[in-house]
């Protein structure tokens, strides 16, 4: 039987878990402390507790506190407690009249979706006042359409704000109007701001246009946005066209093709436009010709995308390739490239020195498609790594990758170049080759990690775990542990190297005595991953189980589990932590159990026992503990179906923040376990939740569930008239996603 299972079973049987309340008692005492700082801290902590009568009474006391900093803390707490704090609406409306608390009170009322016309009147007064900082005016404008005021009162105020000197206020006013107005007026308003000088307002207009009912002018307007001077607007226009579907989008085909063909344009937008073109029906006019043209793009990444798109349209298997941050490694490009003469390669080498950046970029892109046959261009491509033009640099990187390990000697020379950009790119390319680059490259990168500029040393440290095993790599990483600016990268590299970093064991063991808890926590995991152990190490880790740092305790439990020596030691600490008076430590202990499960320290039987025992903590005083238990149960339940009976009740918990968190975790759980349709009835019920945050979250999650959520469309249609602006927006978005998403749930 699993050791951890035995330890937990014995301990839990001896002292069953019970709901904790001492933390609540402590905070309630501190609310009456003479020190305002202590009262403020206590009020902030209240937002993390289940909203019992005692907790809400204490929060009300904070809203009436004599110190403005405490009142602000209490206002922020109400915002985090959502509808559980809706009874404080009168106090929050009153706090709008105080200059010191007005902005925070407006935010809280917006978050609660309450305040009504009284709040609207007060916010309108604040917007008319001069002297408010721009960020405060922005908060007032954001709150205006969200405090539950009547549209007849809100719309004229937002209409006036369209001409506000503050761009952010104008943007908020426009978005609020677009959602509050009927579709026909909203479309007219959207069209009217397509020429606004502020690109964020134009981008918002494009986004909203796609969520209105599609009519004759929708796609032409989005086609106009495809020619907007701002990349952000063009990118959103492409994304919105993707949402609309086809054949409506056929009228935008020439505009999309123009974006794809612009070799000087941003690669991100061009790629999205190309993919949208590729999704068009085969009957769509001229798409095939546009895609064929894109296969000859000067940018090898675009050319590759076009080849893949054409293959899919013809029902063929797309060319295989290895993806990385530079694009694809050149094996695939070399496979599809036609033979190139030595004279052509020489011409491309000369073009890499051209004074015209388009010529240089085109030459590097062509060499990337040539692959190993362009090895002679290696030195010229290395020089191009330092080109001032980003497209040329990226294409040169792809070309060097496509040459393969034949280009390693020239990359080793590049590590000695005077240009730091050249050295930096050479480091990353060698890292992509990894062990294939050989021991000499590994030694060279270790040397760079010791002596180069700081940012290049960081890059080299990140690549070292991929390289051939040489003694200098662990030595270099140990040395980097002594440098504050490099320690994080060194720890990460040591963890990835695992047993290949066994020689670092003594140095990591010594760091367990460090005064910095963060260093100790990182050292514990890195130590365990070396695959080594010793009585001294086990004793020290056992000692650290009593650390005051939850992070240290959590990592030590994980380290002992990895080492296979300490599961019996870890079990008492975990169980003890679940009874800790501080909810933060209880939360940490729950997460430690999840980590132990991920590491394979729990058998199926042990995990099932832990899940049953953790269910008791679903009644904990702290929302964070309950939330972590929900996460733990969805991660550990064996078989997964056993989680549903335990967690169904959480969706109707008293805490609104727990209800929306539970809905989120359960939607992800349903998708992960292949039962996305199982969460739909719960989310439909959540659309009627008294809390607007829960309702908006439910609508958003239904959208993520894709067409499995089709039975929820009638309920979402009703939500289009919800009193909350946010709920209406999410419902509209969800209906659009459900109607266009493929029959799979989305995990983004």
Average pLDDT, the chain: 81
Kindly tell me the number of DSSP H helices and DSSP E strands found in the chain: 44, 2
With beta carbons less than 8 A apart as the criterion, state whether 447 and 426 touch: no
Q: What angle do helix axes 454-463 and 439-451 make, rounded to 10 degrees?
A: 150
Sign of the torsion angle spanned by Cα atoms 365, 455, 324, 371: positive
3-state secondary structure string across 50-79: CCCHHHHHHHHHHHCCCCHHHHHHHHHHHH
pLDDT above 60: residue 582: yes
- Comparing 117-121, 504-508, 527-531, 642-646, the range with the smallest average pLDDT is 642-646
- Per-residue tokens: 565: 């020596």
What does DSSP assign to residue 97?
T
Instruction: State whether residue 483 is helix, strand or coil.
Output: coil
pLDDT above 80: residue 605: no
pLDDT value for 568? 46
Higher local confidence (pLDDT), 69 or 333: 69
pLDDT value for 9? 45
Beta bridge partners of 49: 622
How far, in Å, CA of 81 to CA of 86, rounded?
9
| pLDDT tens for each residue of 385-433 | 888 888 888 888 888 888 888 889 999 998 988 888 889 989 999 998 9
pLDDT-based confidence at residue 479 (cuts at 50, 70, 90): very high
With beta carbons less than 8 A apart as the criterion, state whether 340 and 321 touch: no
Q: Which helix (H) or strand (E) holds 359?
A: helix 357-370
* DSSP letters for 633-669: HHHH-SSGGGHHHHHGGGGG-S-HHHHHHHHHHHHHH
Question: Measuring CA to CA, how many Å separate 133 from each of 71, 121, 130?
Answer: 20, 20, 9
pLDDT value for 321? 47
- Comparing 13-22, 214-223, 618-627, 735-744, the range with the smallest average pLDDT is 13-22
Nearest to residue 527, comparing CAs of 552, 551, 562?
A: 562
In the numeric block, the tokens 């809905």 are attached to 663
- Comparing 214-218, 393-397, 451-455, the range with the smallest average pLDDT is 214-218
- Comparing 86-95, 492-501, 585-594, the range with the smallest average pLDDT is 585-594
pLDDT-based confidence at residue 444 (cuts at 50, 70, 90): very high
Share of the chain above pLDDT 70, in %: 85
3-state secondary structure string across 266-323: CHHHHHHHHHHHHCCCCCCCCHHHHHHHHCCCCCHHHHHHHHHHHHHHCCCCCCCCCE
**Stretch 265-278: mean pLDDT:** 77
pLDDT-based confidence at residue 297 (cuts at 50, 70, 90): confident
| pLDDT tens for each residue of 113-155 | 889 999 999 999 998 886 656 678 888 988 998 898 998 899 8
pLDDT value for 684? 94
* DSSP letters for 161-183: HTT-SSHHHHHHHHHHHHHHS-H
How far, in Å, CA of 74 to CA of 67, rounded?
11
Question: Measuring CA to CA, how many Å separate 51 from each of 17, 529, 587, 707?
Answer: 21, 43, 18, 36
Share of the chain above pLDDT 90, in %: 25
With beta carbons less than 8 A apart as the criterion, state whether 78 and 691 touch: no
Higher local confidence (pLDDT), 258 or 242: 258
pLDDT-based confidence at residue 658 (cuts at 50, 70, 90): confident
Instruction: State whether residue 658 is helix, strand or coil.
Output: helix
Instruction: State whether residue 18 is helix, strand or coil.
Output: coil
pLDDT above 70: residue 748: no
Instruction: State whether residue 9 is helix, strand or coil.
Output: helix
**Stretch 359-368: mean pLDDT:** 86
Q: How many CA atoms lie within 13 A of 124 on its CB side?
A: 17
How far, in Å, CA of 108 to CA of 74, rounded?
10
- Comparing 78-92, 271-285, 511-525, the range with the smallest average pLDDT is 271-285
pLDDT value for 747? 44
pLDDT above 50: residue 324: no
pLDDT value for 543? 87
Beta bridge partners of 622: 49
Q: What angle do helix axes 454-463 and 472-480 make, rounded to 10 degrees?
A: 130
In the numeric block, the tokens 């240290």 are attached to 552
């Amino acid at each position: 039987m699993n050791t951890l299972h035995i330890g937990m079973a014995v301990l839990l049987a001896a002292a069953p878990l019970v709901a904790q309340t001492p933390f609540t008692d402590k905070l309630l005492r501190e609310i009456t402390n003479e020190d305002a700082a202590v009262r403020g801290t206590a009020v902030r902590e209240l937002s993390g507790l289940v909203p019992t009568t005692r907790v809400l009474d204490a929060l009300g006391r904070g809203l009436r506190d004599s110190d403005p900093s405490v009142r602000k803390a209490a206002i922020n707490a109400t915002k985090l407690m959502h509808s559980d704090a809706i009874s404080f609406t009168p106090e929050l409306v009153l706090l709008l009249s105080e200059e010191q608390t007005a902005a925070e009170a407006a935010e809280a009322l917006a978050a609660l979706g309450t305040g009504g016309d009284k709040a609207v009147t007060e916010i309108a007064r604040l917007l008319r006042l001069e002297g408010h900082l721009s960020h405060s005016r922005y908060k007032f404008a954001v709150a205006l359409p969200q405090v539950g005021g009547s549209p007849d009162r809100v719309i004229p105020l937002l209409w006036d704000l369209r001409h506000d000197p503050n761009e952010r206020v104008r943007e908020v006013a426009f978005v609020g109007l677009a959602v509050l107005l009927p579709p026909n007026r909203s479309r007219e308003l959207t069209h009217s701001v397509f020429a606004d000088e502020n690109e964020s307002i134009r981008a918002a207009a494009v986004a909203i246009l796609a969520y209105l009912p599609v009519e004759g002018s929708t796609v032409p307007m989005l086609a106009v946005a495809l020619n907007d001077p701002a990349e952000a607007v063009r990118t959103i226009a492409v994304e919105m066209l993707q949402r609309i579907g086809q054949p409506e989008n056929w009228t935008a085909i020439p505009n999309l093709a123009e974006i794809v063909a612009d070799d000087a344009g941003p690669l991100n937008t061009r790629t999205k436009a190309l993919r949208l073109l590729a999704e068009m029906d085969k009957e769509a006019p001229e798409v095939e010709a546009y895609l064929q043209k894109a296969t000859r793009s000067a940018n090898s990444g675009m050319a590759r995308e076009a080849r893949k798109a054409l293959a899919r349209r013809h029902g063929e298997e797309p060319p295989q390739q290895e993806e990385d941050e530079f694009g694809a490694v050149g094996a695939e490009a070399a496979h599809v490239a036609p033979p190139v003469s030595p004279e052509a390669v020489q011409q491309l080498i000369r073009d890499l020195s051209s004074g015209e950046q388009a010529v240089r970029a085109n030459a590097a892109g062509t060499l990337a498609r040539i692959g190993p046959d362009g090895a002679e261009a290696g030195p010229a491509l290395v020089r191009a790594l330092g080109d001032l033009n980003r497209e040329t640099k990226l294409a040169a990187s792809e070309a060097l990758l496509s040459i393969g390990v034949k280009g390693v000697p020239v990359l080793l020379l590049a590590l000695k170049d005077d240009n730091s950009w050249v050295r930096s790119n050479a480091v990353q390319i060698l890292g992509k080759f990894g062990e294939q680059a050989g021991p000499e490259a590994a030694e060279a990168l270790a040397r760079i990690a010791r002596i180069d500029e700081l940012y290049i040393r960081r890059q080299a440290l990140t690549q070292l775990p991929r390289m051939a095993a040489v003694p200098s790599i662990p030595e270099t990483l140990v040395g980097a542990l002594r440098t504050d600016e490099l320690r994080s990268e060194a720890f990460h590299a040591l963890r990835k190297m695992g047993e290949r970093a066994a020689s670092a064991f003594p140095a990591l063991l010594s760091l367990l005595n460090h005064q910095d808890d963060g260093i100790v926590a990182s050292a514990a995991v890195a130590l365990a991953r070396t695959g080594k152990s010793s009585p001294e190490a086990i004793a020290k880790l056992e000692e650290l189980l009593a650390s005051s740092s939850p992070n240290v305790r959590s990592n030590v439990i994980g380290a002992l589990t990895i080492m296979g020596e300490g599961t019996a030691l870890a079990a008492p600490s975990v169980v003890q932590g679940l009874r800790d008076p501080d909810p933060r430590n209880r939360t940490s202990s729950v997460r430690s159990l999840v980590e132990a499960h991920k590491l394979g320290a729990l058998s199926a039987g042990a995990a099932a026992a832990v899940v049953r025992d953790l269910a008791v903590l679903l009644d904990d005083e702290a929302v964070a503990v309950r939330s972590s238990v929900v996460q733990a149960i969805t991660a550990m339940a064996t078989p997964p179906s056993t989680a549903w009976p335990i967690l169904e009740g959480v969706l109707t918990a008293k805490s609104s923040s727990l209800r929306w968190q539970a809905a989120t975790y359960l939607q992800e759980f349903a998708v992960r376990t292949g039962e996305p349709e199982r969460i739909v009835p719960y989310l439909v019920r959540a659309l009627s939740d008294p809390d607007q945050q829960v309702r908006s979250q439910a609508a958003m999650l239904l959208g993520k569930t894709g067409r499995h959520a089709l039975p929820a469309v009638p309920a979402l249609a009703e939500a289009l008239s919800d009193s909350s602006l946010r709920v209406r927006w999410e419902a509209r978005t969800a209906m659009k996603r459900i109607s266009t998403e493929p029959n799979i749930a989305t995990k983004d």
